[in-house]
Amino acid sequence: MISDTPANAPFVVDGAISTIYSSTNPTCYVGLNFGSNTFANISSIKYMPNPAWATAANYLKGATFEGSNDSTTWTTIFTIDTSQVHSGWNYWMPSSVIQYQFVRFSHTSVSGCQLSDFVF
């Protein structure tokens, strides 16, 4: 796991929608390191915002999913806009499979990176 708030990081991959990753930092992130010299084939991203939010788009607009192969230089995989996010599970699929060692969700204090779960 990689995150700006390590104690909360396991909540985003525990499979329980009742636990939420959350950060109080002005810019936040949470994600996965697939291992040294290991690249995940990203064919979809499935994510669930905080289930307590009636209108998730109000919180997640402008949030990004990013990939990196060195944990220093990050490439935006996609940016969430209001037409792409709703309460419950959300899905995104690239036009072709992409590979990264690190993948993370990143945003600001608007959302506090409050995700219940994600799957790459």
* CATH number of the domain within which 109 lies: 2.60.120.260
Lowest-confidence region among 28-32, 59-63, 65-69: 59-63
Q: What is the pLDDT of residue 4?
A: 93
The span from the CA of 101 to the CA of 83, in Å, is 28
By percentage, how much of the chain surpasses pLDDT 70? 100
Q: Across the chain, what does the average pLDDT equal?
A: 91
Q: What is the pLDDT of residue 29?
A: 95
Banded model confidence at residue 120, pLDDT cuts 50, 70, 90: confident
In the numeric block, the tokens 């945003």 are attached to: 107
Reference 114, options 7, 16, 29; nearest CA is 29
What range defines the domain where residue 54 resides?
2-119
- The model's pLDDT over 63-109, given as tens digits with 9 standing for 90+, comes to 999 999 999 999 999 999 878 788 889 999 998 999 999 999 999 99
The span from the CA of 116 to the CA of 110, in Å, is 16
Q: What is the pLDDT of residue 75?
A: 95
Banded model confidence at residue 31, pLDDT cuts 50, 70, 90: very high
Banded model confidence at residue 55, pLDDT cuts 50, 70, 90: confident
Question: What is the number of domains present in the chain?
Answer: 1
